[in-house]
């Protein structure tokens, strides 16, 4: 009896497994055939599409089946990455908006995360502004995930879609600093100003990314940065100093001194970096003190800053010989050697 | 020259020496000095000098703040010096107004007489002569072979006739094919003049005849030009120069006509000579050239001729020699020379040469014809990697050689390689090349490769014909830069366009540094890509 049960189970398992295997084989085979047909289509039509996009030909053979449509949109996406210039981009966008809107809309409301995400990438690459209402619907839906949210907001920022400001201040899921950077990196100056007015409402990660972006995009936000220096949060002060160093904003010696003597090495480091950009001789004694800082990076940055200031090399030479602190002497020597 | 005037000149010279060794002087000091000169001149009865000094002081008043170097002060007093050298005994200006021009020339001024040389430089400003001043006679003797010169003017003071450096200088100058030497002396005596001629000077001019200097020097320079035209020896290497080639050919042609014996012409070129110059300096390069010339002379027969054709190219013309024999001789020379060492500053260099060989067996052909054939063969030898001998290829029907005949038709086709892992990019660019070719009514051979390695192994790459290579910067297997390095190392005659999605300025500079002809970033601006590609393809025709 037991043997019978075991045999039956084995047979059942075997049947199940072989069916599964067969199913997978067939699926793989169909997928491969699909890919081959897509490739063949792409090869046939790429030249025609290129000429159409370049405006050399006005006639374009449109895709007749779902498969061909997929091949066509892949081609279009690839061309969008290879060609720049307003005319070409406009033609790509017009083509996509005219023929692929319905298809993309269906994809955006798909049950599968991957299909929705791929649709978002396509919308971004082809710059299909038409799709904004659909994306808005997706953003408001309950289905939206953390990854989609970040992507959606980045696309909204690229398309200069105003509500993105409110979304960024109060995101559905907490956004990472990286996500914020991407979003702010895409935003127009107009949107960035709107965010700046409501800076205090941003979550901490957003604040940090926003201050960083001032330095990265070389925005001239001098008074805003000065206000930040008075902040209670160390991280914001540090990033404000860094941004100031990047945009080359000068700070008077008295205020710099305050940061150069901060109890936090991060702040002293950035203050020393900023001092190097200010090129004022009055800063030399302050930086000289920092040569004997507890932290190696601060000492190094201070030496670099001194070397940049007028008359700085002479100071370094003196320090290398006469400084009472051994670390300061070492650091000065290192810099002198590095420059020779 | 008047004794008192001469001593005043000495005074100025002494002052100049003091200024030269001291710090820059101010206008007031210079004015004081001119004042002193003016007063002395008035005392010795030279009112013209005094008046000129007065004028100079007046000019200085405008610029009291200015600091003067000794050299500037000297140039400032040039009008004063002019009075000294020209106005005595009613002498005329140095350049007669009727002869304001002369031949271009490089003139070396040597001797310790800065005042006279300053005067000459200023007075002869309008003449197209380039002056070099070397105060020390010894240094002048040492550097004479390094600079190309048309005349030397030596200033000799009283009592300097016995200076051994002077004798060395004149002797050295005598070793050159012909280099005129003019001695300028304050010594009015006949004895000094005779001594000058005895040492080998071509002319001795006394200061009081300074106004004749230009005419006399110009005459000598013109004479040197004529002699240069007659000279058939290359100065650096001591072998014949190319002017001698027609005579050699005339002689060998008559041999061929009369006895039917052919000769062989070989065009030699040192391999990688530019690198020797760049790495070890031009003196080392000269040493290598001298070595090769001496080696060729030593290892060829008396009836053969060695000629420096120009730069690092030599012609060896072997009389009464067939192609087979010539090849054997040249192979021997090539092997032996590769084993020779040239010593430069203690380092031992060894060099190789390549040669193109042609048998001159048709007396009706002009000299140019043979040189062109030999040059083609030499080019083939270089393309084959150097250090080898190639024979010129000629078609039997005799109209002209194959290479010469094929070149124009071959040039009608553009050869383009597209190396990129992105299929779509290859397609786009191939299409563009076809379009440009159709526009110019050309045909294009386009080869596509999806990675660097397959390109380097392809027959396209190995053929090494003039082509355009479009190279992606980032590829699997072998990076675009690496491919570029390879083809530049092997000196392939390719124009390279690099495609990249990196926009970093340093990256671009780096690639250009490595020898990229064009650099295009992705995504492409289509019209820009088209324009750049068109330019590159056109360069293939050049």
> Average pLDDT, stretch B493-508?
83
Would you give per-residue pLDDT tens digits along chain A (340 residues)? Answer: 889 999 999 999 999 999 999 999 999 999 999 999 999 998 888 888 998 898 887 778 788 888 888 899 999 999 998 998 888 888 998 999 888 888 899 999 999 999 999 999 999 999 898 999 999 999 999 889 999 999 999 999 999 999 999 999 989 999 999 999 999 999 999 999 999 999 999 999 999 999 999 988 888 888 888 888 888 889 999 999 999 988 888 888 888 888 988 899 999 999 999 988 887 777 888 888 888 888 889 998 998 888 888 778 888 888 888 888 888 888 888 888 755 4
Q: What percent of chain B has pLDDT over 90?
A: 15
Q: What residues does B68 pair with on adjacent strands?
A: B25
For residue B523, give the nearest of A47, A54, A82 by CB distance: A82
Residue by residue, DSSP assigns A177-221 as HHHHHHHHHH--HHHHHHHHHTGGGS-HHHHHHHHHHHHHTT---
pLDDT of residue B401: 45
Cα three-residue angle A7-A10-A11, rounded to 5 degrees: 85
Cβ contact (<8 Å) for B525 and A85? yes
| Mean pLDDT over the full length of chain B | 83
The phi, psi pair for A10, rounded to 5°, reads -60, -40
B161 has a pLDDT exceeding 70: yes
Distance CA A332, CA A318 (A): 9
> Average pLDDT, stretch B122-132?
83
Is residue A235 domain-resident? no
**Rounded to 10 degrees, what is the CA torsion of B10, B11, B13, B19?**
160
Q: Note whether B434 contacts A: Cβ–Cβ < 8 A.
A: no
Query: How many structural domains is chain A composed of?
Result: 2
Q: Note whether B523 contacts A: Cβ–Cβ < 8 A.
A: yes
Which 3 state secondary structure label does DSSP give B39? Answer: helix
Q: Note whether B230 contacts A: Cβ–Cβ < 8 A.
A: no
Residue by residue, DSSP assigns A15-84 as HHHHHHHHHHHHHHHHHHHHHHHHHHHHHHHHHHHHHHHTTS----PPP-SHHHHHHHHHHHHHHHHHEE
Structure tokens at B493: 């005659």
Cβ contact (<8 Å) for B424 and A88? no
pLDDT of residue B101: 61
Distance CA B333, CA B442 (A): 45
- Which residue range forms the structural domain that includes residue A305? 250-339
The model's confidence at residue B103, banded by pLDDT at 50, 70 and 90, is confident
Structure tokens at B293: 């010339």
Is residue A80 domain-resident? yes
Residue by residue, DSSP assigns B193-224 as HHHHHHHT-SEEEEGGGGGGHHHHHHHHHHHH
Burial class from Cβ neighbours inside 10 Å (0-12, 13-18, 19+) for residue B189 reads exposed
**In sequence order, what E strands does B245-292 have?**
263-270
Q: Bigger pLDDT: B398 or B304? A: B304
> Average pLDDT, stretch B192-218?
86
Cβ contact (<8 Å) for A82 and B522? yes
Q: Note whether B93 contacts A: Cβ–Cβ < 8 A.
A: no
Give the residue on A whose Cα is nearest the Cα of B500. Answer: A82
Give the residue on B whose Cα is nearest the Cα of A81. Answer: B523
Q: Note whether B526 contacts A: Cβ–Cβ < 8 A.
A: yes
Distance CA A62, CA A195 (A): 43
Is residue A87 domain-resident? yes
Q: What is the pTM of this model?
A: 0.51
Question: Last residue of some domain: A91, A112, A143?
Answer: A143
> Average pLDDT, stretch B298-325?
90
pLDDT tens by residue, B228-244: 777 788 878 888 888 88
Chain A residue numbers with beta carbons less than 8 Å from the beta carbon of B422 are 82
Kindly report the CATH number assigned to the domain that includes residue A269. Answer: 1.25.10.10
Is residue A165 domain-resident? no
Cβ contact (<8 Å) for B427 and A85? no
Kind plus residue range of the DSSP H or E element containing A240:
helix A234-247
pLDDT of residue A25: 96
Question: Last residue of some domain: A122, A143, A164?
Answer: A143
pLDDT tens by residue, B35-59: 888 888 888 888 888 888 888 888 8
For residue A83, give the nearest of B427, B431, B524 by CB distance: B524
Q: How far apart are the first and last CA of chain B?
A: 64
pLDDT of residue B412: 66
Q: How far apart are the first and last CA of chain A?
A: 92
Is residue A116 domain-resident? yes
pLDDT of residue B97: 54
pLDDT of residue A121: 94
> Average pLDDT, stretch B336-350?
84
Is residue A155 domain-resident? no
Q: Choose, out of B422, B425, B428, B438, the residue to mutate when testing the contact with A (most A CBs < 10 Å).
A: B428
pLDDT of residue B92: 58
Is residue A232 domain-resident? no
Is residue A138 domain-resident? yes
For chain B positions 403-422, those within 8 Å of chain A (CB to CB) are: 422
For residue A82, give the nearest of B425, B431, B527 by CB distance: B425
**In sequence order, what E strands does B361-442 have?**
389-391, 413-419
The model's confidence at residue B168, banded by pLDDT at 50, 70 and 90, is confident
pLDDT tens by residue, B379-432: 888 888 888 999 988 754 444 444 444 444 455 678 899 999 988 999 999 989
Contact pairs from chain A to chain B, CB under 8 Å? 30
Question: Last residue of some domain: A143, A174, A200?
Answer: A143
pLDDT of residue B238: 84
């Amino acid at each position: 009896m037991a043997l019978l049960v075991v045999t039956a189970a084995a047979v059942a398992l075997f049947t199940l497994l072989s069916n599964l295997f067969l199913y997978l084989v067939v699926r793989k085979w169909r997928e491969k055939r699909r890919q081959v047909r897509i490739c063949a289509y792409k090869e046939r039509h790429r030249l025609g599409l290129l000429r159409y996009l370049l405006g050399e030909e006005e006639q374009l053979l449109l895709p007749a089946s779902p498969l061909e449509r997929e091949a066509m949109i892949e081609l279009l996406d690839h061309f969008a990455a290879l060609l720049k210039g307003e005319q070409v981009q406009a033609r790509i966008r017009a083509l996509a908006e005219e023929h692929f809107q319905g298809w993309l809309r269906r994809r955006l409301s798909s049950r599968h995360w991957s299909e929705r995400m791929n649709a978002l990438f396509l919308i971004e690459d082809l710059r299909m502004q038409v799709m904004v209402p659909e994306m808005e619907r997706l953003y408001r839906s309950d289905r939206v995930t953390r990854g989609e949210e970040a992507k959606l907001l980045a696309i909204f920022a690229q398309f200069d879609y105003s509500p993105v400001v409110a979304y960024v201040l109060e995101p559905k899921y907490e956004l990472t600093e990286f996500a914020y950077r991407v979003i702010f990196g895409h935003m127009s100056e107009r949107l960035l100003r709107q965010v700046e007015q409501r800076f205090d409402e941003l979550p901490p990660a957003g604040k940090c990314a926003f201050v960083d972006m001032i330095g990265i995009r070389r925005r001239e936000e001098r008074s805003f940065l000065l206000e930040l220096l008075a902040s209670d949060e160390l991280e914001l002060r540090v990033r404000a100093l860094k941004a100031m160093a990047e945009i080359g904003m000068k700070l008077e010696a008295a205020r710099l001194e305050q940061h150069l003597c901060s109890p936090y090495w991060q702040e002293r480091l950035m203050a020393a970096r900023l001092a190097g950009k200010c090129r004022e001789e009055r800063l030399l004694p302050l930086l000289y003190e920092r040569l004997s800082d507890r932290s190696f990076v601060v000492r190094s940055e201070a030496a670099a800053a001194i070397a940049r200031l007028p008359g700085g090399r002479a100071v370094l030479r003196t320090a290398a010989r006469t400084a009472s602190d051994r670390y300061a002497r070492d650091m000065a020597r290192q810099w002198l050697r590095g420059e020779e | 020259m008047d004794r008192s005037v001469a001593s005043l000149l000495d005074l100025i010279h002494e002052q100049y020496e003091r200024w030269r060794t001291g710090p820059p002087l101010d206008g007031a000091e210079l004015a004081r000095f001119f004042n002193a000169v003016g007063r002395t001149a008035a005392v010795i009865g030279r009112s013209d000098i005094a008046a000129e000094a007065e004028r100079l002081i007046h000019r200085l008043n405008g610029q009291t703040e200015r600091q003067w170097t000794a050299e500037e002060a000297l140039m400032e007093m040039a009008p004063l010096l002019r009075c000294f050298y020209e106005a005595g005994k009613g002498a005329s200006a140095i350049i007669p107004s009727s002869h304001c021009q002369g031949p271009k020339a490089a003139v070396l001024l040597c001797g310790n007489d800065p005042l006279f040389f300053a005067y000459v430089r200023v007075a002869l400003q309008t003449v197209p002569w380039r002056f070099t001043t070397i105060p020390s006679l010894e240094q002048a003797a040492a550097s004479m072979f390094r600079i190309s010169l048309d005349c030397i003017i030596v200033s000799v003071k009283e009592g300097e006739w016995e200076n051994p450096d002077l004798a060395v200088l004149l002797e050295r100058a005598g070793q050159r094919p012909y280099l005129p030497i003019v001695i300028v002396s304050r010594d009015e005596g006949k004895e000094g003049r005779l001594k000058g001629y005895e040492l080998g000077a071509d002319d001795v001019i006394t200061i009081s005849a300074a106004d004749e200097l230009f005419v006399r020097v110009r005459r000598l320079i013109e004479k040197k030009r004529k002699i240069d035209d007659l000279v058939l020896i290359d100065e650096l290497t001591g072998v014949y120069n190319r002017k001698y080639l027609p005579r050699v050919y005339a002689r060998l042609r008559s041999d061929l006509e009369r006895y039917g014996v052919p000769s062989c012409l070989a065009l030699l070129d040192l391999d990688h000579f530019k690198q020797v110059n760049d790495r070890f300096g031009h003196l080392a390069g000269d040493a290598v050239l001298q070595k090769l010339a001496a080696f060729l002379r030593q290892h060829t027969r008396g009836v053969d001729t060695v000629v420096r054709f120009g730069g690092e190219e030599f012609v060896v013309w072997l009389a009464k020699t067939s192609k087979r024999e010539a090849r054997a001789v040249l192979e021997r020379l090539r092997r032996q020379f590769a084993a020779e060492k040239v010593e430069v500053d203690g380092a031992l260099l060894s060099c190789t040469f390549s040669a193109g060989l042609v048998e001159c067996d048709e007396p009706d052909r002009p000299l140019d014809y043979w040189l062109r054939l030999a040059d083609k063969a030499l080019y083939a030898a270089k393309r084959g990697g150097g250090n080898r001998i190639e024979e010129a290829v000629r078609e039997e029907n005799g109209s002209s050689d194959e290479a010469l005949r094929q070149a124009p038709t071959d040039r009608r086709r553009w050869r383009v390689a597209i190396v990129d892992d992105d299929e779509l990019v290859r397609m786009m660019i191939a299409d563009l090349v076809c379009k440009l070719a159709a526009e110019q009514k050309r045909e294009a051979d386009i080869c596509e490769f999806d990675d660097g390695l397959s390109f380097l192994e392809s027959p396209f790459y190995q053929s090494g014909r003039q082509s355009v290579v479009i190279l992606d910067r980032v590829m699997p297997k072998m990076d675009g830069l690496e491919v570029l390095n390879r083809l530049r190392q092997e000196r392939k005659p390719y124009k390279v366009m690099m495609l990249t999605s990196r926009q970093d300025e340093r990256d671009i500079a780096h690639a250009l540094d490595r020898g990229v002809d064009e650099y295009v970033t992705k995504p492409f601006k289509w019209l820009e890509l088209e324009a750049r590609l068109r330019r590159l393809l056109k360069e293939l025709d050049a």
